[in-house]
Amino acid sequence: MTTGTQSPMPAARRLEGRVAVVTGAARGIGRGIAARLAAEGAHVVVADIDAAGAAQVAAGLGGGALAVRVDIADAASVAALAAAVEARFGRCEILVNNAAILDALSVDAMTFETYRRVIDINQDGAIRVTLALLPLVRRGGQGRRILNIASIQGMRGARDSLAYATAKGAIVNFTRSLACDLADDGIVVNALAPGFIDTDMAQLPDGSGHEHETDWFRDIYLKYGRIPLRRAGLPDDIAGPAFFLCSDDARYVTGQILLVDGGVSATF
């Protein structure tokens, strides 16, 4: 079984000097995307509710990376993020809305309060950050991009993820509608829909391990090929497509949802 490889170092720094804000960048998919954008020459703002984690990632990126603590469920905190980006750079070419929390509750265990918490972060948080950063993106130079991280669960139903799937489904159509609204400004808007990715969010609710380590996952998704590539994804597997959608190569791609799932969506 293929285990995945690290993203290759870029031959040319194709995002040289551009400012990229990545939320939820202290770990997982966000960290992988931040690292790739920095390797391509971008000045990356590592935005995360985990201030210490964000600072550690930013220190490792170098190249003028900036760590900012942000709670995307809090309007004042998001406003402070926008102010920090404006004070340091005065603009933003790339915004990656990645921050999210996991929902693994059955409908019987879910309350409206727990539902609203997931929606407030995973759905409203991306919109809150976009509205706050949009003036800076409009002020940006070449290659203005907004990239949202959705999920294959936003494209189909799944057990015990009602709030998460609802929020990610909203991100799908938020992406499409925003792309139409910002087309006249020359701002390209797209989304990635990851499948099973090996991150902390794949941790089982009881803390016993990751979902891709379970017998059911190995049997259904690997042994019997429900995931044709027969492995869980890695953050680097998302970072490459994210770079593409943030690059000049994607200048005629907007309003699209790119599934990055090892082929699992092809088997339904």
Q: List residues with catalytic annotation.
A: 164
> Angle 153-102-150 (CA atoms, 0-180°, nearest 5)?
40
The three-state secondary structure class of 8 is: coil
Closest Cα to residue 83, out of 30, 22, 140, 132? 132
- Upper half-sphere CA count for residue 26 (Cβ side, 13 Å): 18
CA distance 267 to 112: 33
Closest Cα to residue 186, out of 147, 146, 144? 144
> Angle 193-196-48 (CA atoms, 0-180°, nearest 5)?
70
Element (H, E) at 177: helix 162-182
